[in-house]
Chain A
């Protein structure tokens, strides 16, 4: 590493700290930026700076937003009596792209996983309960991932929401569209069978 100038080495090391980026990718990206003739590096620098400076959490749903409340929470045409609870802001983007949901969201920012240091205190659960207690909420849709942690988080939310006189539902689960029965594992098949519907 001594043959590489310090600023180059520093960028490689920094990029390599990102998830999914190894040292080789980091080096490739760094040298690409070094050779690039356009203003890409400058635009990237500005974007990174503004990422922190111009974003914040929505004080209602805790999604990442530029304005508070966020455009979804501020939109009067959306159904504010239905709250969809998700793990991460990326889940909101996924659901919004599907254009199937017209209610509002609540982002937990993680899942209950004590072994990874994530406890209920670290999630935006108290804020969700306060929202429901304030009234006007008819249904809470639990849309945490169908993983162990996601299921345990949903189970905890059920224990907290049940006394609050609100309808609590969980996203359906089963076979992926375009999938093949033969390649589905037993747990998925079991759940798909349990969740079968009258046609």
Chain B
């Protein structure tokens, strides 16, 4: 698939941008803070319904737009998928309220019809490479959970709906837990939220487990190639709630000697899992009321990057804790390339690649490997401050545009 046309209004530092995009490789170059990354961000927003860079989406509205009295941003694209053109549109608005503050509203349209975020799944698929990706290995667990959600939401609308519903039920249950702690009251009002958490939680854990298993397998192959078979890599999904395992607390104390998680035993069906989840939530209620928050469930899931080398036998390390920066970068590049392969297999189409200043961090051989993937893509959007990073042949084949102060010079 590819994006044929992109239109931005008041998005980040773009007052207005109308851009017919070329297929194959587009290389956007220019100094820092000119709007290169914002362009990739806009595309990612249309693919997933959320920004990869910020959770405060108010920031995406160009601040001068507010001064001018029209606090809204619009991102619109025409996407060609299996020779069919589709229109995707996201409008972000700050609606002024009587008390002087404002309410933020995001509306999504697909082919001009109003839709929900989950309906975006399958319309535009992207794989984003950024220098911040290394935080997937070194950062907090929430970074990894957001990554799993962003990846699955692009292709799986059911998952996306489950994640949204889970988050809402979690917020409600936590508020109810605090109320019960402070004021007391009827504990059975937790039941409707627990039912939602159990049903959506089982689906979320199941899809995440499947994704991590596939990514682990593919990343291992790529990693072997990238390191010349000197090291190996494995991804581990560690669900916070596992109906077939001891409680999470004990498992963490057991440390890294744990075998990779392969999921609940097959004889426990979906209903059994939901029942076990429900029971776990109810069992921890007294503790959770004291703390005013829900402690069980996929909102506390974890994924780890485990590596070793054949030369060191069975010795293995957790790259998040013990990996060097170089090891972490290689692991994350393997993961991203695995994601690309997974998405292509899963959807039967080539996703749009978005690469934000990633080459500077890679050595020559990894750079070559990555650029070969870029040139195999139906469409790839790259940003760079330094064009010398690319070979003359690569530059020859790519379309080169300069970005300067929110304007694109084609």
Contacts and interface: CB of A to CB of B under 8 A. Distances in A.
A88 to B, nearest CB: 19
A115 B177 CA distance: 10
A114 B181 CA distance: 13
Interface in A55-79: none
A1 interface: no
A1 B401 CA distance: 51
Interface residues of B, number: 29
Interface stretch (A28-36, A90-98, A169-177, A182-190): A182-190
Interface stretch (A16-24, A39-47, A100-108, A135-143): A16-24
Contacts of B168: 148
A156 B196 CA distance: 12
Given A16-B98, A114-B173, A119-B176, A186 B119 contact: yes
Given A156-B192, A159-B191, A113 B172 contact: yes
B185 A155 contact: no
Nearest to B161: A187
B308 interface: no
Interface string A162-199: 00000000000000000000110111000000000000
Nearest to A22: B98
A193 to B, nearest CB: 14
B172 A185 contact: no
B176 A114 contact: yes
Interface in A107-141: 112-115, 119-121
B98 A115 contact: no
B178 to A, nearest CB: 8
A161 B119 CA distance: 35
B22 interface: no
Contacts of B185: 119-121
B98 A23 contact: yes
B197 to A, nearest CB: 11
B146 interface: no
A48 B113 CA distance: 41
B115 interface: yes
A17 B100 CA distance: 11
Contacts of A113: 172
Contacts of B358: none
B186 A121 contact: yes
A20 B113 CA distance: 25
Contacts of B171: 115
A151 B115 CA distance: 20
A120 B119 contact: no
Contact of A17 (B96, B98, B189): B98
B189 A185 contact: no
B189 A156 contact: yes
A21 B97 CA distance: 9
Nearest to A25: B98
Contacts of B191: 155-156, 159
A185 B115 contact: yes
A182 B111 CA distance: 10
B188 interface: yes
A151 B165 CA distance: 12
B116 interface: yes
Interface in B383-397: none
B195 interface: yes
Interface string B162-204: 0001001101111110010000011011011101100000000
B118 interface: yes
Nearest to B98: A16
A148 to B, nearest CB: 6
A160 B188 contact: yes
Nearest to B168: A148
Given A17-B98, A156-B191, A148 B118 contact: no
A152 B192 contact: yes
Given A115-B171, A120-B185, A160-B188, A183 B196 contact: no
Contacts of A151: 192
A42 to B, nearest CB: 26
A190 to B, nearest CB: 9
Interface string B371-409: 000000000000000000000000000000000000000
A114 B172 contact: yes
A155 B161 contact: no
Given A152-B172, A185-B116, A186-B119, A120 B98 contact: no
Contacts of A115: 171-172, 174-175
B189 A120 contact: yes
A187 B176 contact: no
Contact of A112 (B113, B114, B118, B189): B189
B157 interface: yes
Interface of B: 96, 98, 113-116, 118-119, 157, 161, 165, 168-169, 171-176, 179, 185-186, 188-189, 191-193, 195-196
17 contacts: A17-B98, A26-B98, A112-B192, A114-B175, A114-B176, A119-B179, A120-B189, A151-B192, A152-B192, A152-B196, A153-B192, A156-B188, A160-B188, A185-B115, A185-B119, A186-B119, A186-B161
Given A112-B192, A115-B172, A185-B119, 11 more contacts: A114-B175, A114-B176, A115-B174, A119-B176, A119-B179, A121-B185, A152-B169, A156-B191, A159-B192, A160-B188, A185-B116
Q: A-B pairs with the 6 shortest C-beta distances? A: A114-B175, A155-B192, A114-B176, A152-B192, A115-B175, A16-B98
